[in-house]
Amino acid sequence: MKNRIIIFDTTLRDGEQAAGTRLGPQEKLKIARQLERLGVDVMEVGFPASSPGDFEAVQAIGKEIHQPIICALTRCRSEDIEIAGKALKGVSKSRIHTGLGVSDIHIESKLRKTRTEVLKMAVQSVKLARKFAKEVEFYAEDAGRAEPGFLLEMVEAVIEAGAKIINIPDTTGYTMPEQFASLIQKVNEEVPNISQAIISVHCHNDLGLAVANSLAGVKAGARQAECTINGVGERAGNASLEEIVMALKVRSDYFGFSTGIKTVELYRTSKLVSHLLGISVPPNKAIVGRNAFAHSSGIHVDGFLKDRKTYEIMKPEEVGVQQSDVVLTARSGRHALKHRLEKLGYKLKGEKLSQVYERFITIADCKQEVFDEDLEAIVEDEITTTSETYILEYFNTVSGNKTIPTATVRLKKGNAVSQEAACGDGPVDAAYKAIDRITKLKAKLVDYSLQAVTGGKDALGEVRVKVAVGNRTVSGRGASTDIIEASVKAYVNAMNRLLAKRK
């Protein structure tokens, strides 16, 4: 246990304090079940005195969840502690987490007490809490801004009163990692009876340093880390559980510690908490964000495809993500495109690959991301036209609610280039009439369908047409982010197929 860090999850208590969120007892129970599967050591599940709903949630979770320690929060008030005791009644692994502010600004402005009075309240509360739970944890709120001498005096006193875990929180996210590490080290070295307790860290993210401070505290002697899934919580949130756990795992060479967390459950837990709290996970969120294992830049993708270790320090499977992802954008490069095409079953080389790559770049400049469905449409669209009679070189349309729709189309046949213009019922109809004039095929449009290949406003559109000349009927297709271009390409494709059938 010496090299084991206790993971104290407070998603259901501090995490739920995030503005605009609220979990009912059944939702809390659902998350608690997943946290147990995840393997957290301690689960802080609510503040029973705050509401009947929290009281009910603590009771329900305590009855069903048996592996982790079930913890309830209180203030240093006898009524809070007694209510928590009732909620935890019958729980085999129970903990009351009680405490109060220890910084002068909290003592004077919030509590309106003296240091002597606050010290007395803390000792009495710990002694009372011992009657209602298997163990007591004491939190010295705003320890990051407290006067060090008084903080040490408080810690010694509550340990003497029976507290087995001492929480040194950076409640306002104020300290820097070096400062926080120094504070933990000071507690560890200067409190005479500290060997009778475990030091815990609970850091907030106001300056974006919650995880850094927590890890600094662990390195300095803390053996319990308090955190939340996705880093949710009051104001800017808490230290992220998944980030702390994976930092300890990936850099075990540096920290020399382990946890009991089943890391393959991290992604699933993150998704559940995000869904029930209604707080989306940012795509660039470490460990569980959508882009955490996604590669887009051509330089990165090239290195990754040669050896994943070039740009990945952990495997996605370790955190429950199925696989790494190569995101195709205009920056991805030829190697990334070739790799994705091969995964889709297209083994293109030389001129054909260059042809598809040029089209890919054109479409990628119009879209944020090119999807597999886009690539399939591009390949079918480009490769099938390689040896066709007519090649679309140019088109232009003019249309409006008070304008006669017109279209100009230029097609290349061998070395000859032909151009025609026509009017129609709309820009597509006008373009089709111009194509008829060039090809001199009196074709009848039997069917026309348009659908988005992928989602979003920048989706690639695919047009399929059915065209008949005499007793011959053929289909054609075209794809583009511009639906008129897709329509023109589909019609030209159909004309080429008609000519091929004639031959």
Quote the pLDDT of residue 312: 85
> Is 373 inside any structural domain?
no
Q: Is the pLDDT of residue 14 over 70?
A: yes
Contact 165, 138 (CB under 8 A): yes
Residue 155 and residue 52 share a domain: yes
Q: What is the CATH number of the domain that holds 437?
A: 3.30.160.270
Greatest alpha-carbon span in the chain: 102
> Is 384 inside any structural domain?
no
What letters, b where the CB count within 10 A reaches 16 and e where it falls short, cover 401-427?
Answer: eeeebbbbbbbeeeeeebebebebeeb
> Is 376 inside any structural domain?
no
pTM equals 0.74
What letters, b where the CB count within 10 A reaches 16 and e where it falls short, cover 460-471?
Answer: bbbbbbbbebee
CA–CA distance, 5 with 259 (Å, rounded to integer): 5
Contact 319, 289 (CB under 8 A): no
Quote the pLDDT of residue 111: 93
Q: Is the pLDDT of residue 17 over 50?
A: yes
Using pLDDT thresholds of 50, 70 and 90, give the confidence band for residue 373: low
Quote the pLDDT of residue 1: 54
Strands 472-480 and 461-469: what pairing?
A: antiparallel
Residue 173 and residue 50 share a domain: yes
> Is 454 inside any structural domain?
yes
Residue 150 and residue 210 share a domain: yes
Residue 46 and residue 195 share a domain: yes
Quote the pLDDT of residue 381: 67
- Summarize pLDDT for 58-103 with one digit per residue, the tens: 999 999 999 999 999 999 999 999 999 999 999 999 999 999 999 9
- Summarize pLDDT for 305-316 with one digit per residue, the tens: 687 788 788 998
Residue 431 and residue 328 share a domain: no
Q: Provide the mean pLDDT of the chain.
A: 91
Domain boundary among 367, 402, 424: 367
Which of 207, 215, 225 minimizes the C-alpha distance to 44? 225
**Angle in degrees, CA 143, 190, 179, rounded to 5:** 45
Query: What is the extent of the structural domain holding 473?
Result: 391-502
Helix axes 78-87, 52-64, angle to 10 degrees: 40
> Is 380 inside any structural domain?
no
- Summarize pLDDT for 155-177 with one digit per residue, the tens: 999 999 999 999 999 999 999 99
Residue 209 and residue 77 share a domain: yes
Quote the pLDDT of residue 121: 97
Pick 456 or 113 by higher pLDDT.
Answer: 113
Quote the pLDDT of residue 386: 44
Q: What total of structural domains would you count in the chain? A: 3
Residue 243 and residue 156 share a domain: yes
User: Percentage of the chain with pLDDT > 90?
Assistant: 68
Using pLDDT thresholds of 50, 70 and 90, give the confidence band for residue 241: very high
> Is 262 inside any structural domain?
yes
Which of 420, 417, 390 minimizes the C-alpha distance to 408? 420
> Is 285 inside any structural domain?
no
Residue 273 and residue 306 share a domain: no
Pick 365 or 246 by higher pLDDT.
Answer: 246
Q: What is the CATH number of the domain that holds 193?
A: 3.20.20.70
Residue 335 and residue 400 share a domain: no
Q: Is the pLDDT of residue 57 over 90?
A: yes
Residue 227 and residue 84 share a domain: yes
Residue 411 and residue 355 share a domain: no
β-strand partners of 326: 295
Q: Is the pLDDT of residue 348 over 90?
A: no
Using pLDDT thresholds of 50, 70 and 90, give the confidence band for residue 301: low
In which residue are the tokens 């990692």 written?
Answer: 177
Quote the pLDDT of residue 354: 85
> Is 195 inside any structural domain?
yes
Pick 455 or 427 by higher pLDDT.
Answer: 427
Using pLDDT thresholds of 50, 70 and 90, give the confidence band for residue 387: low
Residue 88 and residue 44 share a domain: yes
